[in-house]
Amino acid sequence: MSQQTQDTGRHYIDGEWTAGAGEETFESTNPATGRQLGAFHRGTPGDVERAVSAAETAFEGWRAMSYIDRAEVLWDVYHELRDRTDELGAVVTKECGKEISEGRADVVEAYHMVEWAAGNSRHPHGDVIPSEIASKDAYMRRRPRGVVGCITPWNFPVAIPFWHMAVTLVEGNTVVWKPAEQTPWCGQIVAEMMVDAGVPPGVFNMVQGFGDAGNAIVEDDRVDTVLFTGSAEVGHEIGAKLGGEPGREVALEMGGKNGIVITEHADMDLAVHAAVMSSFKTTGQRCVSSERLIVHSDVYEEFRSRFVDLAEDVAVGDPLGEDTFMGPVVDESQVEKFHRYNDLAREEGADVLVDRAELDDEEVPDGHEDGHWVGPFVYEVDYDPHLRCIHEEVFGPHVALIEYDGDIEDALAIHNDTRYGLAAAIVSEDYRQINHFRDHAEVGLAYANLPCIGAEVQLPFGGVKKSGKGAPSAREVIEAVTERTAWTVNNAEDVQMAQGLSAEITTGSDD
Ligand code: UN1
């Protein structure tokens, strides 16, 4: 464990590590073993209040620095993330349970994001825009919004904080960050990296804790932008609260009930591979994971038999083991939710094809009996717009096979019948089907002949419909953390107006 958590992990507010105002502490536990990893002070609304004040005070000084000087701080973080990828990847795996290649990939994705944001400081910002008047120069400029509140989830405990914070800081904003309560150790190490890199006091603040601390960020009017990645339930509340408030900006990315369409022209090797990756990687706990496989009747039998064989066999085990494909789910509430939805699918008439929901004792690795273990649960069901099991997000390895007849429009009608719209994939060798799907699938991210997971940081990442608003990530986060100014300069000595507007000032004495 890193040096700060030998005792109880603290917050980082106004350039200092602090236990904060509250009395309570909370534990981080390893989802694979149930063992405690460390204790952390639980942040209070008062701690958030102090952090926001510090961020507000630090803003003027930070924004006055050049882009390139601000980015220098981030370059140090980039190097530390690279140098410590294996170490921090193992912490990710221990704290959120995803298998070790995913733990490392989380850190790699984080430094890719930092690289993009810091590198962008040397790229052109804004545009030069022509004016109707030859003597005028017009520009589109950006300026930072001020204090940005970042609320991040446990499933990408290093990458997503940097989706939020890297561009935000380079653009000249200051930050108040609340890491997920399930992954405070990762939060602690990220904060230590910021401190090591020399981020000035108040520019970056971290408050550990739960929803009450997150809510204090949302409620504080001095927070100019709230970035949130997490559950639809919380995201919709934040959206409802801030959506109508002038002057406060929000970008939200929530989950999905993501689907993969496998057409009659699909390559079956690709289809099975894409579906297994999308449904079971991260034990189904990505917001882009797929819980619906919509398969044409011409290939349904073959797909079902191959997918089921792999789902029966896929390696669930110690997430630190290199041969593990699926680790545990993050906590007991996630296990319960998964079972609840498996029961619901049965009640709604699903035909269960794979039921590894409760792993056999011998499948649970030795010494891991107190982990939160589940395995794949796969069923087939006739499409019906009223079925909850194919409309509500489970966030686990709970997968529906839905057979369709007809053409790509019929697949799309099923695919788009969800309130969500985050990620999707189509598997087909027919470019017309692919292009039709590209143009009509109601999602923010889509793939052809690929899994629907694994987006790279230089792409916008966000959903449509109930999956999100804006993109609290990567390149596009810039829209939420900056304001655009249209700036026009007159190079002439007289005033000339566009649109043929008269610039003459007439007075009563003119005749
Ligand atoms: C998430 O699903 O919560 O596209 C984030 C991906 C990753 C990020 C996923 N780059 O799968």
Q: Whose CA is nearest to atom 7 of ligand 1?
A: 454
Cβ(321) to ligand 1 under 6 A?
A: no
> What is residue 475's predicted lDDT score, i.e. its pLDDT?
80
Instruction: Indicate whether 511 belongs to any domain.
Output: no
Query: Which listed residue (253, 291, 380, 393) is catalytic?
Result: 253
Domain count, the chain: 2
Overall average pLDDT of the 35-57 stretch: 98
The 10 Å CB-count burial string (b at 16+, else e) for 382-400 is ebeeebebbbbbbbbbbbb
**Residue 206 sits in the same domain as residue 285:** no
Among 73-77, 211-215, 238-242, which stretch is predicted with the lowest mean pLDDT?
238-242
Amino acid at 92: V
Angle at 363 between CA 293 and CA 454, to 5 degrees: 40
Query: Which listed residue (287, 291, 380, 476) is catalytic?
Result: 287
Cβ(446) to ligand 1 under 6 A?
A: no
**Residue 305 sits in the same domain as residue 290:** yes
Residue 323's SS3 state is: coil
pLDDT in tens, 207-226: 999 999 999 999 999 999 99
pLDDT in tens, 245-281: 889 999 999 999 999 999 999 999 999 999 999 999 9
pTM above 0.85, yes or no: yes
Q: Is the pLDDT of residue 106 over 80?
A: yes
H or E element: which one contains 271?
helix 268-280
Overall average pLDDT of the 6-25 stretch: 95
DSSP 46-67: HHHHHHHHHHHHHHHHHHHS-H
> What is residue 245's predicted lDDT score, i.e. its pLDDT?
84
Which residue range(s) make up the domain with 222?
11-254+463-487
**Residue 238 sits in the same domain as residue 302:** no
Overall average pLDDT of the 6-29 stretch: 95
Query: Taking a C-beta distance cutoff of 8 angstroms, is the pair 92, 157 a contact?
Result: yes
The most distant pair of C-alpha atoms in the chain lies apart, rounded to whole Å, by: 102
**Residue 43 sits in the same domain as residue 136:** yes
287 is catalytic: yes
Show which of 392, 417, 448 is a domain's final residue.
448
Q: Is the pLDDT of residue 244 over 90?
A: no
Parallel, antiparallel, or unpaired: how do β-strands 249-253 and 25-29 relate? unpaired
Amino acid at 161: P
Percent of the chain whose predicted confidence (pLDDT) is above 90: 94
> What is residue 243's predicted lDDT score, i.e. its pLDDT?
82
Residue 235's SS3 state is: helix
Overall average pLDDT of the 370-378 stretch: 98
Strands (E), 49-186: 127-129, 136-144, 147-151, 174-178
> What is residue 424's predicted lDDT score, i.e. its pLDDT?
98
Q: Is the pLDDT of residue 147 over 50?
A: yes
Instruction: Indicate whether 41 belongs to any domain.
Output: yes
**Residue 217 sits in the same domain as residue 359:** no
> What is residue 6's predicted lDDT score, i.e. its pLDDT?
54
**Residue 266 sits in the same domain as residue 401:** yes
Ligand 1 center to 151 CA (angstroms): 16
Overall average pLDDT of the 125-154 stretch: 96
**Residue 269 sits in the same domain as residue 221:** no
Whole-number mean pLDDT of the chain?
Answer: 96
**Residue 243 sits in the same domain as residue 212:** yes
> What is residue 511's predicted lDDT score, i.e. its pLDDT?
57
Q: Whose CA is nearest to atom 6 of ligand 1?
A: 454
User: Of the candidates 35, 34, 28, 30, which has an alpha carbon nearest to the alpha carbon of residue 4?
Assistant: 28
> What is residue 423's predicted lDDT score, i.e. its pLDDT?
98
How many Å apart are CA 450 and CA 396, to the nearest integer? 20
The number of beta carbons lying within 10 Å of the beta carbon of residue 93 is 25
Instruction: Indicate whether 506 belongs to any domain.
Output: no
Instruction: Indicate whether 509 belongs to any domain.
Output: no
User: Of the candidates 474, 54, 453, which has an alpha carbon nearest to the alpha carbon of residue 274?
Assistant: 453
Q: Is the pLDDT of residue 5 over 80?
A: no
Q: Is the pLDDT of residue 153 over 60?
A: yes
Parallel, antiparallel, or unpaired: how do β-strands 258-262 and 377-380 relate? unpaired
Cβ(288) to ligand 1 under 6 A?
A: yes
Overall average pLDDT of the 141-149 stretch: 96
Query: Taking a C-beta distance cutoff of 8 angstroms, is the pair 257, 392 a contact?
Result: yes
Q: Is the pLDDT of residue 103 over 70?
A: yes
Name 427's bridge partners: 262
**Residue 57 sits in the same domain as residue 163:** yes
Amino acid at 402: I
pLDDT in tens, 277-322: 999 999 999 999 999 999 999 999 999 999 999 999 999 999 999 9
CATH for 373: 3.40.309.10
Query: Taking a C-beta distance cutoff of 8 angstroms, is the pair 463, 421 a contact?
Result: yes
Instruction: Indicate whether 499 belongs to any domain.
Output: no
**DSSP 8-state secondary structure symbol assigned to residue 467:** G
Instruction: Indicate whether 505 belongs to any domain.
Output: no
* Residue of 158, 422, 461, 467 to mutate, ligand 1, most atoms within 8 A of C-beta: 461
pLDDT in tens, 418-451: 999 999 999 999 999 999 999 999 999 999 999 9
Parallel, antiparallel, or unpaired: how do β-strands 225-229 and 249-253 relate? parallel
49 is catalytic: no
**Residue 230 sits in the same domain as residue 304:** no
Overall average pLDDT of the 328-342 stretch: 98
Q: Is the pLDDT of residue 3 over 70?
A: no
Instruction: Indicate whether 510 belongs to any domain.
Output: no
**What's the chain's Rg over C-alpha atoms?**
25
**Residue 215 sits in the same domain as residue 331:** no
Cβ(109) to ligand 1 under 6 A?
A: yes
Cβ(455) to ligand 1 under 6 A?
A: yes
Q: Could you give the dihedral angle defined by the CA atoms of residues 344, 345, 350 and 356, in that order, rounded to the nearest 10 degrees?
A: -120
**Residue 218 sits in the same domain as residue 266:** no
97: left (phi over 0), alpha (psi -120 to 50) or beta: left
Residue 12's SS3 state is: strand
Q: Which residues contact 461 (CB under 8 A, 6 or more apart)?
A: 163, 253, 444, 445, 455, 471, 473, 474, 476
Overall average pLDDT of the 464-475 stretch: 88
Instruction: Indicate whether 272 belongs to any domain.
Output: yes
Residue matched to tokens 């990687």: 281
406: left (phi over 0), alpha (psi -120 to 50) or beta: left
User: Of the candidates 257, 253, 219, 217, which has an alpha carbon nearest to the alpha carbon of residue 236?
Assistant: 253
Q: Is the pLDDT of residue 510 over 60?
A: no
Q: Which residues contact 324 (CB under 8 A, 6 or more apart)?
A: 99, 100, 315, 316, 317, 318
DSSP 367-405: T-TTS-----EEEE----TT-STTTS---SSEEEEEEE-
CATH for 77: 3.40.605.10
How many Å apart are CA 99 and CA 425, to the nearest integer? 23
